[in-house]
Amino acid sequence: MNARPAENIDTANIVGHFINGADIADANRPIPVTNPATGEVTRHVAMAKKTTVENAIAAAEAAFPAWRNTPPAKRAKVLFRFKQLLEERADDIVELLTNEHGKVLDDAMGEFLRGVEVVDYACGIAELLKGEHTKNVGPGIDSWSEFQPLGVVAGITPFNFPAMVPMWMFPMAIACGNTFVLKPSEKDPSAPMLIARLFKEAGLPDGVYNVVNGDKEAVDTLLHDPRVQAVSFVGSTPIAEYIYATGTSNGKRVQALGGAKNHAVIMPDADIDNAVNALMGAAFGSCGERCMAISVAVCVGDDTADTVVSRLQAELQDLKVGNGAEGNNDMGPLITREHRDKVQGYVDLGVEEGAELVVDGRSLRVKDHADGFFLGACLFDRVTPDMRIYQEEIFGPVLCVVRAESQEHAMQLIDDHEYGNGTCIFTRDGEAARFFADNIKVGMVGINVPLPVPVATHSFGGWKRSLFGDLYAYGPDAVRFYTRRKTITQRWPSGGVREKAQFAFPSNQ
Give the DSSP H or E segment for 126.
helix 125-128
**Type of residue numbered 160:** N
The 10 Å Cβ neighbour count of residue 487 is 10
Q: Which of 229, 231, 107, 206 is nearest to 163 (CA)?
A: 107
C-alpha distance from residue 429 to each of 90, 404, 433 (Å): 41, 18, 6
Bridge-partner residues for 300, per DSSP?
404
Q: In whole angstroms, give the CA distance from residue 149 to residue 312.
A: 49
Q: Phi and psi (nearest 5°) for 195?
A: -65, -40
3-state secondary structure (DSSP) of residue 468? strand
Q: In whole angstroms, give the CA distance from residue 13 to residue 30.
A: 10
Catalytic residue among 291, 299, 378, 424: 291
Cβ–Cβ < 8 Å for 199, 93: no
Catalytic (active site) residue 400: no
Could you tell me where the DSSP H helices lie in 161-301?
Answer: 164-175, 190-201, 216-224, 237-249, 272-284
Angle at 138 between CA 136 and CA 141, to 5 degrees: 60
Q: In whole angstroms, give the CA distance from residue 45 to residue 14.
A: 5
Q: In whole angstroms, give the CA distance from residue 209 to residue 201.
A: 12
Q: In whole angstroms, give the CA distance from residue 314 to residue 442.
A: 31
Residues belonging to the active site: 291
